């Protein structure tokens, strides 16, 4: 009987130690999500702001700049694109988009 209790106790201790050293998958998922949520979006978005073409930093709700070009003056297909928002990864892409719409 003493041997059975000792073996059971030893198995219990081993299970506790092994379980404590291995993080569960839920903890790993939460850690990954936290990293993703703290990364700021990069680039720019060109979209309509109060009837004019405007430049937003990705993820921002207030424009960084607003052009003098009225969205309604663009061809119909371009109006839809601007209203949906056009992403630009960097300043060079942004300048090209603005040149296409505002020149």
Question: Which residues of the chain are under the pLDDT cut of 70?
Answer: 1-41
Domain that holds residue 13: 2-38
Predicted pLDDT of residue 101 = 87
- The CA–CA distances, whole Å, from 89 to 38, 49, 95, 101 equal 19, 20, 11, 17
- The CA–CA distances, whole Å, from 9 to 19, 31, 41, 45 equal 15, 34, 52, 62
What is the count of structural domains for the chain? 2
Residues 6 or more apart whose CB falls under 8 angstroms from that of 85 comprise 45, 46, 47, 56
pTM, 2 dp: 0.59
Domain check: are 17 and 58 in the same one? no
Domain check: are 27 and 49 in the same one? no
Predicted pLDDT of residue 103 = 74
Predicted pLDDT of residue 11 = 60
């Amino acid at each position: 009987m003493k041997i059975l209790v000792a073996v059971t106790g030893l198995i219990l201790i081993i299970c506790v130690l092994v379980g404590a050293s291995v993080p569960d998958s839920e903890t790993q998922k939460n850690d990954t999500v936290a990293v993703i949520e703290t990364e700021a979006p990069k680039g720019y978005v060109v979209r309509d702001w109060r009837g004019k073409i405007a430049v937003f930093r990705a993820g921002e709700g207030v424009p960084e700049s607003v052009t003098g070009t009225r969205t309604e003056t663009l061809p119909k297909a371009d109006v839809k694109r601007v209203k949906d928002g056009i992403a630009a990864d960097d300043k060079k892409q942004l300048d090209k988009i603005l040149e296409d719409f505002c020149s």
